[in-house]
Structure 1
Amino acid sequence: MPLIIKAPPLPLVFLLMIHGVSSADWGVSYSTSHICVLKNSSVIMNCTYTYPTRYQITNVLWTKGAVKEDVDPPDLSKDPEYSQRLQYLGDKQQNCTIRLSHVTLKDSHMYYFRFITDKYKWIGKPGVTLAVTDLQVESPERVTEGDSVGLTCKSSCTLTDRATFIWYRNSQPLTTGIIGNQLDLWRVSREDTGRYSCGVDGHSYISPAVYLNIRYPPVNPVISISPSGEIVSGDSVTLICSSDSNPPAEIYWYKGRTFVGSGRIFSISKISSDDSGEYTCISINDHGEKYSDAVTLNVMYPPRNVSVLINGSGETVSGDSVTLICSSDSNPPALNFSWFKENESSAVGSGQSFSALQSGRLYCQAHNQHGSQRSDAVTVTVHHGAGMNVIVIAATSGGLFIIIIIIIIFIIQKKRKNRRSVIHEYENDSPRTGTYAALDLKSRSSDVYNTLTTVHPRPALHQSGSIEYENP
């Protein structure tokens, strides 16, 4: 779109004193002496000229730069840099207006109009000064969230035409905060961060973009554990702290309240159960700090420190057994336990507790989904004696010998009653006074009789004090 110069005309007439010619009859008039236009736009230089009517115009042209006496200046219409962009809009009578399209910064010069008659040559000096400008966005060097900011669209000269400025953020036009060539941003936030550029309504040229870097404290640091899912002892684990901040924050890692490292990435190679716990990262920059939520590392591991414990005081009563308990440290806790006799491949029992009834060296084996481990063996010795059983257990663990002796005395039979009480019992139970008197001898059979004589034999007392039974 051509740029129409609307400034009031300021006629400048260059008068060349020629002997015998009135200067009032010769001249070139420009509508303005200075024009400021935007890069890549079109400019119109309005121009008129006068000469005595008795002369005939043979040639008209525009030229630029310094004009030397007695040297014909170059014709811009024949210059390759201008020939495709310069259009003569005037005539060979009075109008000398031209249009110059797609102006560049190199087009900034003083331009002159020159006409030639059949007898004289005339050049309009001084000419029109053309200044071509681009646009630059001027912004503060340091902006913090919450500040109010003004951006200015600047040019190297004041545009001749009345300009309506347009602002863009990330190439999208803005509709608020525009006052003249300035963009006002009130209480900026991180959402206002972006690339800002400006232009003039009606022109395609847009300024180079300037990045508005809004600084703000860290916000909501987050820990994405890699690998995700179950963590097993021996794995390599990486913790990554993602934090939104400007400028980028320094990252520090804590396990509980203990500092363990720095940097956005915290790696643990060959993780162990000692690394289990709650981890947090803290994000710090010049504008503040923020803690992340804690994440828990729960390290799984197979059973370890498996041992056999003896349950009870060590004293048992006849008919009881000694209970052995299998203890282990594992994550998750071991749920499967097997009991073995040493040098035997088949299990003799299962479960966390085991009742030992026989002599031998026994050990337990604890299992979870990550592995198993066996304990040291303990020795169980069962002694069988008349009137009592003695069970001796020797437990060995870590070079320390613990001997637990549990003596269980079972009374197999009661003492026989003393001699006089036994005699008295059987004397009172004479067949003539008790059992036999109740029988009907007429109806008795030999079977019944034989049974009675077997059940109640007559005791005989010997001198030695022992009792014999004899049949009647």
Structure 2
Amino acid sequence: MDIWTAEKILLLRFSVSLPEKIEALSGSCLIIKCTFEIEKKYDQYLNESAATGMWLKDGTEEDTHQVFNSGDPKPNHFNGKITGKLHKKDCTTVFYNVSSKHNGKYYLRITSAVLKYTYTKPFSIIDVLEGSSVSLRCSAETLCSSPPPTLTWSSTPRIPLSDSSRLQELISGLNFTATHREHGVTFTCTITYQLQDKNKTAQDSITVHVQYWPKNTAVSVLPSSSVLKGSSVTLICSSDANPAVNYTWSRESEGQLKQLQTGDTLTFNRTDPTHRGWYHCTAQNQHGSQNSSISTTSQITVMSDLMILVCNQKSEIFNINIL
């Protein structure tokens, strides 16, 4: 299986829509779905007779990296054809009999009269926010394969599939609402072709990155057993979030809440009566914040002699009481 890659590009006024990656089977054909936009002032020059599309491979210098030219084909160029209408801003291209020499990164150049532009800057990838709708689409060209290929997904079975087909394309989609449970999950689509009485497969994977606000914010204490007066105590705050959170510690004493410091730990190296009070942890990122939950917390009592009392009570706020 040979892999052919292309950049997906977005510029302010010149833009092109391309797959980020295409996988093709050696000896078959490869179809590149492609559309583009140009500055409005050049629209008048983009006519059917003058418009030319070029593909440059692994570089943008026309003299050394040109591998296809719809208006001036060369013997050393790839065998192919622009099937789209350039004057309608459709640059869809087919390459025939692909092999390992086709592997690489490709750039599109459009020329027509005074217009000459190469699309070179990569498209930015944006994470998905929890609660938003996600649509993953896997497609396979059927023009170069008879019988047509089949598509299968390797993903969580609870997500329903939506399948459709067109004259030259087979499509399978996954649609779901993003939650923190999908963060880091990899979805794989496998395409199976029957070529010369043999099954050949190609697959592509995408990992979903979901951004979400803090969840399951909790506090733990070290040491987890008894604490003697004058010993050290460390409170540790943890939270599940993406992107990472900032932690803030606060102390409640005599009805007042006072911010102490930031960071995931709060340490008292030598405990004394001034440390008496309730301690809170808040986790925050750009999507929200959460206080340490009231669930399973320890109340630590520090004794001045060898009698040590450690009680477990319901609270995710730590009370350090020094007698």
Bigger Rg, which one: 1
Larger relative contact order (C-alpha < 8 A, sep ≥ 6)?
Answer: 2
Q: Same fold (TM over 0.5)?
A: no
TM-score, structure 2 length as denominator?
0.45
TM-score (norm 1): 0.32
